[in-house]
Structure 1
Amino acid sequence: MLVSAPPGFEPDVAFEPASLGPVIADHAHADGREIIVGDGASELHISLKGGDTARRPAVILPIDSAFALRVDVAARFYHRLQGKRIGLLPRALRLTSLQKRHLIQRLHAFDVRADGGGPRDIAAAVLNAHREAALPAIEWKSSAARRKANRLIQDAIALVNGGYLKLLRGR
């Protein structure tokens, strides 16, 4: 979020959306503008509050649990405004291949459950435990695949019901 810099501060960079990449959307409203800029790999959402913001930009950084991440993103934005290349996402937002695999499994489990599937279906479709999923009820009840499927269901529900916000905050 950008606002006009207070009197006495003279920013050394003006904000020109097109210098950041192709402008995907630019919507003016009573409070200012909302702009989305693409860079090939992602989108940058920018909110400008007030009329003089583009000429005298200042970044607003709420002091909350994501403050350190916001500072990193603001620094990356500043470097981008100066025409410098920026590298990968901030470390807090990067996912390992194992984390990606677990997230995919959770979302897949959520989809199977949303389509009416139960733990056996999730064990077969997501965990690739076809043999265990086909066990008789008495054996299935104590199987590791059942425990994993139930845990996956709980994790998937938590992720979809707001747990994903931790990822966006770098936790």
Structure 2
Amino acid sequence: MAKAEIVWRPEVVGISVVLVNAPADFVATTLAGKVLTRRVAGERLASNRRHLHIEDAGGSHHVWLIEASSGASLAALVPLDDTASLRIAGLRRFHRLIDGQKSGRMPSAWQLTPRLRRRLVLMIRALDALPAKASYRDMALVFYGPAAVSRDPWKTSSLRGQTIRLVKDAISIRDGGYRQLLKGGTGTGRG
């Protein structure tokens, strides 16, 4: 089993599956062996917690075992927060995986659409341009090309407004808004 440092926080990442020892009356839950013997791509031990990153063709699984005894029956813990439905979707995928079925695609809230991926790339590029004191116009020229920028007067151009929003959203993501992405929201504005 490969050991790797895991850099996600299960309490923040909405797709995480949290497993604990099942109550004593639930002796029929025998999935612990399947969970612990499944191919683990990364693992981190921290006091009474075991963080597992399990690779899967449909998208990886992040599992947090809290005080789980080896060989014990396990139960899922789903905090009733704003990520509860996403956590349940992640739990369903994980349950299918350990039940020997295809886990299926990641929930749509956790997938990056091509448009969002492009926007995130532009946001990173904008953050790279800020220390160089690049103007919004300079950024727009690089992001969208000279032909698009010269199409309309810059002061009233829709690309100017789009570039300003892009930079503001990039700063927001940098300053903590990325947590919304981890929870399964876009957190990147309208675009």
| Superposition TM-score tier, normalisation by shorter sequence | 0.7 to 0.9
Corresponding residue for residue 161 of structure 1: 175
Q: Is the 8 A contact 1:113 1:122 kept in 2?
A: no
Query: Is residue 81 of structure 1 aligned with residue 95 of structure 2?
Result: no
Larger RCO (alpha carbons 8 Å, 6+ apart): 2
Note the C-alpha offset of 1:109.
1.9
Q: What's the secondary structure of 1:7's corresponding residue? A: coil
Q: Is the 8 A contact 1:61 1:71 kept in 2?
A: yes
RMSD between superposed Cα atoms in Å: 2.8
Q: Is the 8 A contact 1:4 1:50 kept in 2?
A: yes
Determine the C-alpha separation between the residues in 2 that align with 1:100 and 1:62.
29
Q: Is the 8 A contact 1:112 1:121 kept in 2?
A: no
Q: Is the 8 A contact 1:20 1:39 kept in 2?
A: no
Amino acid across the alignment from 2:77: I
Q: What's the secondary structure of 1:126's corresponding residue? A: helix
Q: Taking structure 2 as the reference length, what is the TM-score of the superposition?
A: 0.71
Amino acid across the alignment from 1:124: L
Q: Which runs of 5+ in 1 are unaligned?
A: none
Amino acid across the alignment from 2:115: L
Provide runs of 4+ in structure 1 moved above 6 Å.
none
Determine the C-alpha separation between the residues in 2 that align with 1:150 and 1:65.
29
Q: Which runs of 5+ in 2 are unaligned?
A: 1-17, 186-191
Query: Residues 110, 69 of structure 1: CA spacing in aligned structure 2 closer, same or farther, 3 A cutoff?
Result: same
Query: Residues 15, 163 of structure 1: CA spacing in aligned structure 2 closer, same or farther, 3 A cutoff?
Result: farther
Percent identity (aligned): 28
Amino acid across the alignment from 1:159: I
Count the aligned residue pairs. 166
Corresponding residue for residue 2 of structure 1: 19
Question: Which of structures 1 and 2 has the bigger CA Rg?
Answer: 1
Q: Taking structure 1 as the reference length, what is the TM-score of the superposition?
A: 0.78
Q: What's the secondary structure of 1:167's corresponding residue? A: helix
Q: What's the secondary structure of 1:58's corresponding residue? A: strand
Note the C-alpha offset of 1:150.
1.4
